[in-house]
Structure 1
Amino acid sequence: MLIKKSKIFLTVLLTCLLLGNTFGSVTVKAAENSSGQEAQLAETMAKSKEYKAFWFSYYDYDAYRAKYKKRNASTFKKYFTQVVKKGKSLGMNCVIVHVRPFGDAMYKSKYFPWSKCISGKQGKNPGYDPLKIMTSVAHANGMKIEAWINPYRVAAGSTNYNKLSSKNPARKWHKNKKTRRNVLAYKGSLYYNPAKAQVRKLIVNGVKEIVQNYDVDGIHMDDYFYPAFNSSNVNSAFDAKEYRASTMGKHKSSIVAFRRQQVNTLVKAIHSAVKATKPNVTFGISPAGNIDNLTSRYSYYVDINKWLNSSDYVDYICPQIYWGFKHPYAKFDRVTKRWMKAAKSKKVKVYIGIAVYRAGHNTGAGSRERREWKSDANVLKKQVQYGRKKGCDGFAFFDYQDLKSRTSAKAVKRLKKVLK
């Protein structure tokens, strides 16, 4: 009897030990699964907060005009709804719409003429307000919208003022001898003169008008600042006359410092105007991606280090890092790393501008980069992953047409997997 009881006890003991191991294993696996789910949830939440924008450029309006023979509020709303839904399907949460590409307007403005990109002729009313429709459609689909302006560009590839609308302030200023230098012709194009207070006031008022009258989430400015000069004319061309007449010129300060000051003055004034009008609206700039070019004495004249480390100029910087990992000297990873290091104060968010338009194309500097863009369907995906690794706050993709093109389709499909 004692032997039987001992056998029963051993059987029960072994069973309990086995069950205990099983319970322990289940507990560990449950904990592991829970930890994995939490990590996945955290990643999903981080992706939902991440800035994931795409540019809707002025030639995307041309595509609308080409697609619809009957152009009115209804067809434009239909077209832009397709734009927003395409962006949403890829995991985007913001659209950056071009509203002033050439000193004109994609909205009803008291400062700038209607854009030829929407109506076919500068100054001609298209019969509806594109920006009003775009803000309504974007928000109805749970997407933010930013209004994108080119600050100084008046006309590209032409210096003929007669081609401008009679209501264009650039044309009006040119007719008057006292204001003629508010607009400058240089290398076959027309620019507003950054050194003129009247010009700055016009641009700031144009921004205020957008923020006051439209439910935009942000104002976005791109890299069209000063044109590029060469070593022989850097001190004599463009706004050199204003420089020589200025206090800085009279004290023999650098013309480079003078030009940076003009851009800084405008940028700071825009930021102040936006915040004074609607504090929740953001103001960001998308400069060229190469910091050495931005800080050179021959082009742009933007004080990028000041902007990155101050809360008085911009809310975000979105450098256009439009190169691959195989670029001979401006490798995507090296340039990205340099930008993140430059933004050491963390006062300004850093988004990375990514070149969807290169994906699938035989483009780039040197055979290795061309091969990368042409053949590596993971190139866009890898750029996002690298940017996240380095702590950037989000991304902007150039541009809408290429997000839906057949040429970039494979790369965009892989990109979608890391954005959704």
Structure 2
Amino acid sequence: MNRQAFFALLVALSMVGTVLLSFPLYAQNTPSRPPISELRGVWLTNIDSNVLFERNRLQSSLQSLKNLNFNTVYPTVWNWGWTLYPSKVAQKVVGRSLDPAPGLQRRDILKEIVTVGHQKGLTVIPWFEFGFMAPADSQLAKNRPQWLTSRRDGSKIWKEGTHNRVWLNPFHPEVQQFIQDLIVEIVKNYNIDGIQFDDHFGLPAELGYDAYTVALYKKEHLGQAPSTNSQDPEWVRWRASKITDYMKRVFQAIKATKKNCLVSVSPNPQRFSYESFLADWQTWERAGLVEELIIQIYRDDLSVFIKELEYPEVKAARSHIPVSIGIMAGLKGKSIPMQQIQTQVQKVRERNFAGVSFFFYETLWNMTGETPQQRQSGFKKMFPTPVAYPNLLAGWKP
């Protein structure tokens, strides 16, 4: 090689090196680089938890979440047949405007959470927890027995653990109007960032054989009765489609009331949600009715947990909207080790999901087998610095 050719080669190599060095070293830096935005949420409920029942305790809890760099709370606003905020809609139908629990009287906990939460930079998205479900002995069920749906044998009781539940008929126009009125009331009266539904916004698949729904099905099927098999594909599809139609109606009502109110859904994985609760969130999402999706993957087995992250409908949704994963932090009778929580968060981050939300507040560091200091230290390691909430309406990109 002559000197001129050698010099040209050196120049070329130098230019290549300069170009390569001008690119950020993503391969080395990705694992340690803090995310620009990430959902770091937690559900606040009044079941097995006292966080909502005392004003100072609630404020202290929100401060603790802020200190540990959480950025979103999902407080329950509808369960056990009561609203947890003063409701004129509930007053008319249920006979009470507010859950009768002593710690909630002369208070508006939703207003408190919105005010204090926003002061601390937290996103506040109320959780419409019970959806169409109600306790069997609730005042709502007693006042409106004609609103309840049933199995083929006429039975109405649905067991949730040890609790007897009934379900409002999601196909009945009066039920639909009542639920929509509750939702619009929340959206209109509170400065919330969004509102969240889960698969209680569907119906257990064995239900739907009440007289009203059967008559509606016959009307649309030339007099043919629905299948006696509650898992019959056509019968499942018809009911799920009706619930999807209602979801569209609710979405439009929310947006007509407050355009920038996000619609969040936190269901189980699609197959279970659709086949067991007739809640076809995959179709909702593809129709543009979901602006935040948090899939509840409450699995102890890591291989099963990872498998749930890889399903095609999950990947499809991630290309469209912020998709996060609901992780179990524990239950009253079940402590989840911090190591398991950290590992699951890591697997979610490795796949570039929008973030995580934990069920539920008390098991973050109060109701656990580890000390509060150990648990809070674990969350601080996962969330060392504050980050923004991944908001679809604020320029989020997949």
Provide the TM-score with structure 1 as the length reference.
0.70
The CA deviation at 1:275 is: 1.4
**Alignment of 1:143 onto 2:122:** yes
**Structure 2 counterpart of 1:247, which letter?**
E
Q: Which has the higher helix share?
A: 1
Q: Figure out how many residues of one structure are paired with residues of the other and give that number.
A: 337
**Structure 1 counterpart of 2:342, which letter?**
K
> C-alpha root-mean-square deviation of aligned residues, in Å?
3.3
- The alpha-carbon distance between structure 1 residues 132 and 324, as it changes in their structure 2 partners (threshold 3 A), is same
Measure, in 1, the Cα distance between the counterparts of 2:41 and 2:34: 17
Query: Does structure 2 retain, via aligned residues, the 8 Å contact 1:58–1:117?
Result: no
Partner of 1:89: 67
- The alpha-carbon distance between structure 1 residues 95 and 350, as it changes in their structure 2 partners (threshold 3 A), is same
Partner of 1:127: 106
Larger RCO (CA under 8 A, 6+ residues apart): 2
Q: Please show how residues 98-247 of structure 1 align to structure 2 within 5 Å.
A: 98-112=76-90, 113-116=96-99, 118-119=101-102, 126-149=105-128, 150-155=130-135, 159-160=136-137, 163-164=138-139, 168=140, 170-174=141-145, 180-182=146-148, 185-187=156-158, 188-229=164-205, 236=209, 241-247=214-220
Superposed CA deviations along residues 201-252 of structure 1, whole A, max 9, x for unmatched, are 111111111111001111011222455456xxx7857975345444147467
Provide the TM-score with structure 2 as the length reference.
0.74
**Alignment of 1:307 onto 2:284:** yes
Q: Which runs of 5+ in 2 are unaligned?
A: 1-17, 91-95, 151-155, 159-163, 227-233, 385-398
The CA deviation at 1:390 is: 1.5
Partner of 2:252: 272
- The alpha-carbon distance between structure 1 residues 414 and 336, as it changes in their structure 2 partners (threshold 3 A), is same
Superposed CA deviations along residues 334-367 of structure 1, whole A, max 9, x for unmatched, are 10111664425722321100001169957xxxxx
Partner of 1:288: 268
Helix, strand or coil at the partner of 1:59: coil
Helix, strand or coil at the partner of 1:295: helix
Runs of 4+ aligned structure 1 residues displaced above 6 Å come to none
Query: Does structure 1 retain, via aligned residues, the 8 Å contact 2:266–2:293?
Result: yes
- Percentage of pairs with the same residue: 21
**Structure 1 counterpart of 2:157, which letter?**
Y
Partner of 2:310: 337
Query: Does structure 1 retain, via aligned residues, the 8 Å contact 2:170–2:243?
Result: yes
Helix, strand or coil at the partner of 1:215: coil
The CA deviation at 1:194 is: 0.9
Query: Does structure 1 retain, via aligned residues, the 8 Å contact 2:266–2:295?
Result: yes
Measure, in 1, the Cα distance between the counterparts of 2:209 and 2:149: 17
Measure, in 2, the Cα distance between the counterparts of 1:240 and 1:272: 24
Larger Rg: 1
**Structure 1 counterpart of 2:278, which letter?**
Y
Helix, strand or coil at the partner of 1:318: strand
Q: Which runs of 5+ in 1 are unaligned?
A: 1-27, 66-75, 175-179, 363-372
Query: Does structure 2 retain, via aligned residues, the 8 Å contact 1:349–1:393?
Result: yes
**Structure 2 counterpart of 1:309, which letter?**
R
Measure, in 1, the Cα distance between the counterparts of 2:315 and 2:242: 22
Query: Does structure 2 retain, via aligned residues, the 8 Å contact 1:80–1:137?
Result: no
Out of 338-347 and 214-223, give the one that drifted further: 338-347
Helix, strand or coil at the partner of 1:189: strand
Measure, in 2, the Cα distance between the counterparts of 1:244 and 1:186: 22
Partner of 1:354: 327
Q: Please show how residues 33-112 of structure 1 align to structure 2 within 5 Å.
A: 43-46=33-36, 49-59=37-47, 62=50, 65=53, 76-112=54-90
